């Protein structure tokens, strides 16, 4: 494995940072915490983990000036992976908040529509499957019985079908992985998804 590869992990206080760093360490992948634009300069790939609300996360990025730096990083064709709220902020906007997202993927974020959930609870929390819409390196070498851990009340609504990489059923189908060239947004938590999540992170870092 390439010792010179450095994967940045955004750390603004919202996300499961240490489990992701631990997975990368076990995979012999060098990681670096990104807390300011300067920290991005040495990174070849970037992971944006997130928990909490859309506006809080965006405000955290803005307060550290990482919002514009992440956009520049993505536009330089370096791979970027967003997780949960860290994925939702890659869209234009969210029904959860008032701030604009990074607009890196042609999508918005909307709340689960309870009318179509057949009494399923919100948030969608627990294990669920992906239905892969098209081949992608992120899904390579996944077992047929793969399941991932979800914890969310809002989901992607893509506006360009070419961005749909996988969907998941929870009352109705929603986009669970979206992609736009070097930019990938995943709604589930790979760091909580055992071996399958481990493989997703490896695939992203070592593609």
Of 43, 189, 196, 205, catalytic:
189
Q: Which helix (H) or strand (E) holds 49?
A: strand 45-50
Burial grade of 11 (CB within 10 A; 0-12, 13-18, 19 or more): buried
Is there a catalytic annotation at residue 136?
Answer: no
Is there a catalytic annotation at residue 191?
Answer: yes
Residues 47, 20 contacting (CB under 8 angstroms): yes
Is there a catalytic annotation at residue 189?
Answer: yes
Of 155, 191, 196, 205, catalytic:
191
Of 84, 163, 175, 205, catalytic:
84
- The residue with tokens 């749909």 is 164
Q: What residues are labeled active site?
A: 84, 189, 191
């Amino acid at each position: 494995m390439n010792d010179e590869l450095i994967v940045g992990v955004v750390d603004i206080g919202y996300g499961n940072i240490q489990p992701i760093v631990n997975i990368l360490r076990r995979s012999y992948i060098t990681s670096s915490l990104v807390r300011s634009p300067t920290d991005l300069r040495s990174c070849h790939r970037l992971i944006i983990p997130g928990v909490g609300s859309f506006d809080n996360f965006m405000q955290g990025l803005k307060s550290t000036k990482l919002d514009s730096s992440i956009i520049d990083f993505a536009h330089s064709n370096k791979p970027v992976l967003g997780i949960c709220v860290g994925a939702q902020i890659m869209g234009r906007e969210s029904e959860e908040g008032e701030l604009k997202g990074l607009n890196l993927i042609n999508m918005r974020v909307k709340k689960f529509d309870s009318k179509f959930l057949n009494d399923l609870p919100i948030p969608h929390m627990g294990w669920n499957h992906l239905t892969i819409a098209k081949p992608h390196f992120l899904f390579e070498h996944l077992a047929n019985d793969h399941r991932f851990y979800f914890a969310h009340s809002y989901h992607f609504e893509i506006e360009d079908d070419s961005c749909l990489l996988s969907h998941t059923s929870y009352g109705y189908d929603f986009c669970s992985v979206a992609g736009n060239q070097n930019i990938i947004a995943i709604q589930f938590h790979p760091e909580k998804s055992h071996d399958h999540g481990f493989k997703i992170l490896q695939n992203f870092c070592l593609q």
